[in-house]
């Protein structure tokens, strides 16, 4: 990939001041690039700051420090009108909880058409209706479903509606924040396949946030491993899975259960003292074009 | 279950592959239909609604169909044929023989000025209903917006707005009235002004709490990532989801407002004669309770019906709106 | 084959709802051999948790038991039907002392206002009439058993002072405090991180071996099943569709639903372009399914699936499958190639 990255995140910090004495340091200097049409998987456990990264990038939060460049424009600080409009159109988000991500009092067609209406992308009502119907079909639902309410759908269907809401804006980057973890196993595969199909068709990029390594491996081109707000290792999927360098990455890989009883029953968990891990003074070392790992200073 | 079914050979052919038409037959229950059904099953709530409708119907039609004006001092021809003022008559039909003879009908009797109590009672009920309507407006417009804005923006804004509420919330209504009475003439305007100052506080607290709960919901975040403005989110995304608690709160604040008016009129800072409200009628009746006890009955019942009715409806709505097991 | 300590026979449960009755458990049979682990796998709404709540007598008030038996081997050879006991008897005789339970969310099973030591000791003083000092000693010992360091200090902590993994350890310790014979774990690691999950699963396995516990493990994660289970029951729409040893289920699955489940989870080893996915979504049990509940999502659905629910076909002593595909008249269907390939690789990897 020789072209310019679509999203450049550099040294992003996101701190939340809870009280005068207490600040939550959710994200501490995270840097990564996403190229057009590529999927970047962001893996981390609860509290690692992965959701915060996604929300800071899409500017639901105001980043404390760092640069975010999207589509050639800086979106980290105050944005002018056109930049804001570009961001709100070209970057979309799919949320985690299919139950709370759709307004229960709104019809599906209104939920999907909201963005089009806000930005005035449709000349007429019929155009809007046509667009909504088309997008519903694209995500595997029927146009008639537009007149229903979210409560009348199953979890998987709702997540499809959430995808449709993002997709109708024709975005360049979709942030998928744990969008499958609340779904049943058999439905997860449907949604992930749908996301892959969409990517093939529209060439959009994904920032796929998850705690589940195996799904991330399946969908991502590149993976970043997040721990305690630090990106401890980034690399191509191949590099992360066949040549993990950071002890935390290794620990994660060894903990993910495999559906193979004879192997799984014998497997040993690599131990890693994640509670006392402190990355504050660690530095990033480059191992290859794409492979970076966070290491203690002066380490080999 | 057809456990005893014996399969035949033809049963073992594959069905044609269906496309994944994903219609899992999810119960197509509309939220509001469900609420209406719950409400319709609730006997107490229906009784409350019936009481309110009863008072409304009479308040609208009874003065229209009455022979007298509410402030008209009625003259009657008594048993001797002389024309006199119909002072302090007990309820009677024209030509009836109960008590003092008169050629005119007074269903609730007359007051000590000679005005028809039937007309006056229903006229007074109109005032109470007007107050109810005003209370709704105050709750919905001031209370809800105040609460939504305070809850949605949070931070310093929320802090200031809440402190303001605490300050006006702790001044007793009577003190406010007394101060207002210096600047304003007594009457319904004064009552409404008093309500304007304090009535919406309860509602704003409810709206704020609901807003705080909902503003971090993912659908609100989704709206923000789509570029929706703050007021769009407040009124288009959050508001439809707090309608339930809001309506319930309105139903409970109506009787409070009605009672406030009645109380103010009773102590004499509300409605001025010859205008009347339920409160002032009760006050008048109370003065004569030992000699003319029938005078106090009609306004008391109207007030009771309204208070009870709105409270029952409010309770019923709260029950119907609260999520239950089995609701999807 | 060891004797069964618990067997569920023909369990049938509905929930009363205001729209209609939901038939959540439609005839479930389950055996728990002594000292073994049985895993129940299924999607949400398959009824796996409800079935186990029935065992512990913790069903919600609107649940109606339409039939069935839950036989528990009480002392020695005496079996009692747990469904015939009322709530009080259940609590006095069975819960805690014989059957312990660990839930998904540790915070809901711990009292936030009590120190963990007190919560642990309470059960012992109540059930086993320990003296206070004995109970304390034993509480410390239990905390050590569940792998909590500095147990003497931790005993004075409140639940909120501990991490999620620690809390789940406390819940396990509490479940073990009255020395139950059966431990029911309802998705005990779903709310936890993968690394913590691995340690908790190891812990449960260690304790089981040490205390000769019989464990029922409810989960939706086949990886977890592979790690802990001796026997597996696959549940779908209130029924068990396939049961067998872990080897049967993972290396010789027979039900199309099991195939789908195994295929729809991406594995860390294989690299396929597209994931297999079961179309559609689980049925809404508000409407009683006709015939085989899985038929609408089944690639291999046959005419008979719409007419009658399949009986259990016995493949081996341990392996039973409820699909008409195993009827002698049915056309032969092989498992999907991709799955076959995966299983071969899995077997090879274990050598």
**Cβ separation of C303 and B11 shorter than 8 Å?**
yes
* Residue B2 confidence class, pLDDT cut points 50, 70, 90: very low
Q: How many domains does one find in chain A?
A: 1
C117 within a domain of the structure (yes/no): yes
The answer on pLDDT for B328 being more than 50 is: no
CA distance C328 to chain A (A): 29
Can you give the pLDDT at residue A57?
Answer: 93
pLDDT of C272 > 70? The answer is no
* Least confident residue range of C158-162, C167-171, C268-272, C295-299: C268-272
C301 & C207 share domain: no
* pLDDT above 70: residue B102: no
Please tell me whether residues C33 and C152 are part of one structural domain. Answer: yes
B21 touches chain A (CB under 8 A): yes
Is residue A13 a part of any domain in this protein? yes
Domain membership of residue C240 (yes or no) is no
Domain harbouring C43, CATH code: 3.40.50.300
- Token couple for A287: 């191992």
Among A257, A263, A266, A267, the strongest candidate for a mutation testing the C interface, having the largest count of C CBs within 10 A, is: A257
The answer as to whether A1 is a domain residue is no
For residue A300, tell me if it sits in a domain. no
Q: Which of C18, C296, C329 sits opposite B9 (nearest CB)?
A: C329
List, for residues A106-139, the tens digit of each pLDDT value.
Answer: 889 999 999 999 988 888 889 999 999 999 988 8
Alpha-helical (H) ranges within chain A are 50-57, 81-90, 108-119, 125-138, 155-167, 185-202, 213-219, 237-242, 247-255, 261-264
Any idea what the Cα angle at residue B246 is, between residues B241 and B249, rounded to 5°? 155
Q: Which of chain A's residues have a Cβ under 8 Å away from the Cβ of B155?
A: none
**What's the number of domains chain C is made of?**
2
Structural domain includes residue C99? yes
Contact A153 B26 (CB under 8 A): yes
Q: Is A2 within the bounds of a domain?
A: no
Same domain, residue pair C24 and C115: yes
Ranges A54-68, B77-91, C101-115: which has the least confidence: B77-91
Domain ranges, residue A129: 7-295
**Omega cis (within 30) before B274:** yes
Distance from CA of A101 to the nearest CA of B (A): 4
| Most confident listed range (A33-37, B132-136, B227-231) | A33-37
Same domain, C181 and C312: no
Closest by CA position to C284, among listed C267, C274, C273, C297 = C297
Interface ipTM: 0.86
Tell me which of B153-162, B282-291, C223-232 is least confident. Answer: B282-291
Please check the confidence at residue C291 and state whether its pLDDT lies above 70.
Answer: yes
Domain positions in chain B are: 43-72+121-321, 74-114
pLDDT interval class at C177 (50, 70, 90): confident
Task: Tell me the residue range of the domain where C203 lies.
Answer: 4-235
Q: A288 and A239 in contact (C-beta within 8 Å)?
A: yes
Residue C85 counted as domain residue: yes
Tell me if C5 sits within 8 A of C73, measured CB to CB: yes
pLDDT digits (tens, 9 = 90+) for C318-341: 999 999 988 888 888 888 888 888
Q: Are residues C192 and C257 in the same domain?
A: no
Q: Which residue has the higher pLDDT, B112 or C296?
A: C296
Q: What is the pLDDT of residue B327?
A: 41
High-pLDDT (> 90) share of chain C, %: 20
- Please report, for the domain that includes residue A82, its CATH number: 3.40.50.300
Which one of A100, A114, A157 has the shortest CB-CB distance to B223? A114
A170: in domain? yes
Q: Using 50, 70 and 90 to split pLDDT, how confident is the model at A140?
A: confident
Any chains having at least 3 CB pairs less than 8 A from chain B are: A, C
- Residues C127 and C20 occupy one common structural domain: yes
| Residue A300 reports pLDDT greater than 60 | no
Secondary structure of residue C252 in the 3-state scheme: coil
Residue of C nearest to B7 (CA): C304
Q: Has residue B222 got a pLDDT over 80? A: yes
Q: Is the domain covering B43-72+121-321 a CATH 1.10.15.40 domain?
A: no
* Residue C91 DSSP code: I
Query: Is C268 inside a domain boundary?
Result: yes
User: Does residue B106 have a pLDDT over 80?
Assistant: no
Considering only CB atoms, C193 lies closest to which of A46, A192, A260, namely A46
Indicate the pTM of the whole model: 0.83
List subunits contacting chain C, requiring 3 or more Cβ pairs under 8 Å: A, B
CB contact under 8 A, B26 and A156: no
- What is the C-alpha to C-alpha distance for residues A279 and A65, in angstroms, rounded to an integer? 18
Domain identity same for C341 and C304: yes
Same domain, C35 and C134: yes
Q: Across the interface, which of A95, A105, A106 has its CB nearest the CB of B221?
A: A95
Is the torsion defined by CA of B313, B318, B319, B323 positive or negative?
positive
Q: Which of A70, A105, A147 to mutate to test the interface with B (most CBs of B within 10 A)?
A: A105
pLDDT at residue B79, as a whole number: 67
Neighbour tally for B31: CB within 10 Å: 16
**Rounded to whole angstroms, how far apart are CA atoms C166 and C315?**
42
């Amino acid at each position: 990939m020789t072209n310019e990255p679509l999203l450049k995140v550099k040294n992003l910090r996101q701190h939340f001041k809870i009280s005068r004495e207490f600040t939550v340091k959710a994200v501490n200097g995270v840097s990564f690039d996403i190229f057009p049409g590529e999927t970047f998987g962001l893996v981390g456990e609860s509290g690692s700051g992965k959701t915060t990264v996604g929300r800071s990038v899409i500017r639901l939060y105001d980043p404390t420090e760092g640069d975010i460049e999207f589509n050639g424009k800086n979106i980290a600080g105050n944005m002018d009108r056109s930049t804001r409009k570009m961001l709100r159109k070209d970057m979309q988000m799919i949320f985690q909880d299919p139950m709370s991500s759709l307004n229960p009092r709104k019809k599906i067609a209104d939920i999907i058409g909201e963005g089009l209406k806000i930005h005035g992308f449709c000349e007429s009502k019929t155009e809007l209706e046509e667009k909504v119907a088309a997008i519903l079909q694209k995500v595997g639902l029927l146009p008639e479903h537009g007149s229903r309410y979210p409560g009348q759908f199953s979890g998987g269907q709702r997540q499809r509606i959430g995808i449709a809401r993002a997709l109708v804006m024709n975005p360049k980057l979709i942030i998928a924040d744990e969008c499958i973890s609340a779904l049943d196993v058999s439905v997860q595969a449907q949604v992930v396949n749908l996301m892959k199909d969409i990517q093939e068709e529209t060439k959009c990029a994904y920032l796929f946030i998850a705690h589940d390594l195996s799904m991330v491996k399946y969908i991502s081109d590149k993976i970043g491993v997040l721990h305690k707000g630090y990106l401890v290792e980034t690399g191509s999927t191949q590099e992360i899975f066949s040549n993990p360098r950071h002890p935390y990455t290794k620990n994660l890989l060894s903990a993910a259960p495999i559906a193979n009883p004879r192997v799984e029953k014998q497997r040993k968990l690599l131990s890693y003292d994640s509670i006392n891990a402190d990355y504050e003074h660690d530095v990033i070392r480059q191992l290859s074009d794409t492979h970076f790992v966070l290491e203690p200073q002066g380490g080999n | 279950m057809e456990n005893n079914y014996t399969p035949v050979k033809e049963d073992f052919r594959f069905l044609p592959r269906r496309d994944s038409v994903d219609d899992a037959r999810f119960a197509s229950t509309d939220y509001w239909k469900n609420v209406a059904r719950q409400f319709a099953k609730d006997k107490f709530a229906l009784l409350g609604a019936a009481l309110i409708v009863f008072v409304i119907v009479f308040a609208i039609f009874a003065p229209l169909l009455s022979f007298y004006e509410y402030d008209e001092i009625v003259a009657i021809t008594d048993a001797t044929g002389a024309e006199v003022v119909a002072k302090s008559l007990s309820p009677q039909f024209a030509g009836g023989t109960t008590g003092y003879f008169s050629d005119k009908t007074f269903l609730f009797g007359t007051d000590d000025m000679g005005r028809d109590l039937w007309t006056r009672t229903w006229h007074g009920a109109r005032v109470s209903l007007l107050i109810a309507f005003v209370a709704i407006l105050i709750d919905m417009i001031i209370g809800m917006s105040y609460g939504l804005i305070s809850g949605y923006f949070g931070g310093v804004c929320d802090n200031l707005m809440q402190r303001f509420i605490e300050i006006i919330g702790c001044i007793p209504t009577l003190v406010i009235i007394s101060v207002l009475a210096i600047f304003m003439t007594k009457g319904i305007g004064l009552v409404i002004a008093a309500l304007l100052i304090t009535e919406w506080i309860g509602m704003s607290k409810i709206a704020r709490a609901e807003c705080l709960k909902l503003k971090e919901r993912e659908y609100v975040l989704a709206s923000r990532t789509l570029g929706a403005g703050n007021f769009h989110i407040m009124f288009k995304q959050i508001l439809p989801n707090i309608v339930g608690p809001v309506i319930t709160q309105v139903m409970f604040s109506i009787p409070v407002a009605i009672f406030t008016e009645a109380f103010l009129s009773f102590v004499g800072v509300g409605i001025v004669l010859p205008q009347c409200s339920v409160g002032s009628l009760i006050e008048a009746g109370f003065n004569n309770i030992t000699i003319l006890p029938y005078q106090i009955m009609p306004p008391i019942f109207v007030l009771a019906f309204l208070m009870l009715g709105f409270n029952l409806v409010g309770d019923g709505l709260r029950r119907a709106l609260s999520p239950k097991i089995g609701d999807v | 084959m060891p004797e069964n300590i618990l067997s569920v026979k023909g369990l049938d449960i509905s929930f009363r709802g205001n729209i209609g009755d939901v038939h959540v458990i439609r005839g479930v049979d389950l055996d728990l051999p002594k000292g073994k682990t049985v895993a129940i796998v299924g999607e949400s709404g398959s009824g796996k948790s409800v079935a186990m709540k029935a065992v512990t007598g913790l069903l919600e008030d609107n649940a109606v038991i339409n039939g069935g038996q839950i036989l528990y081997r009480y002392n020695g050879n005496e079996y009692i039907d747990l469904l015939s006991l009322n709530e009080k008897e259940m609590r006095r005789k069975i819960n805690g002392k014989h059957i312990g339970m660990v839930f998904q969310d540790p915070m809901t099973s711990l009292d936030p206002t009590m120190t963990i030591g007190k919560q642990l000791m309470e059960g012992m003083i109540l059930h086993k009439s320990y003296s206070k000092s004995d109970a304390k000693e034993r509480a410390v010992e239990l905390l050590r058993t569940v792998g909590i360091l500095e147990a003497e200090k931790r005993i004075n902590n409140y639940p909120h002072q501990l991490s999620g993994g620690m809390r789940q350890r406390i819940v396990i310790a509490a479940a073990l405090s009255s020395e139950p014979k059966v431990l029911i774990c309802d998705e005990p690691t779903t709310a936890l991180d993968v690394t913590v999950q691995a340690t908790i699963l190891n812990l449960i396995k260690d304790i089981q071996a040490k205390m000769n516990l019989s464990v029922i493990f409810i989960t939706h994660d086949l990886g977890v099943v592979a790690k802990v289970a001796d026997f597996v029951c696959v549940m779908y729409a209130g029924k068990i569709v396939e049961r067998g040893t872990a080897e049967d289920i993972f290396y010789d699955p027979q039900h199309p639903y099991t195939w789908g489940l195994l295929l729809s989870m991406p594995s860390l080893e294989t690299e396929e372009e597209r994931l297999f996915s079961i179309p559609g979504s689980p049925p809404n049990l508000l409407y009683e399914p006709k015939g085989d509940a899985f038929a609408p999502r089944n690639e291999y659905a046959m005419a008979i699936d719409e007419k009658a629910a399949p009986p259990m076909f016995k493949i081996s002593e341990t392996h039973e499958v409820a699909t008409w595909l195993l009827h002698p008249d049915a056309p032969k269907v092989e498992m999907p190639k991709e799955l076959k390939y995966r299983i071969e690789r899995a077997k090879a990897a274990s050598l």
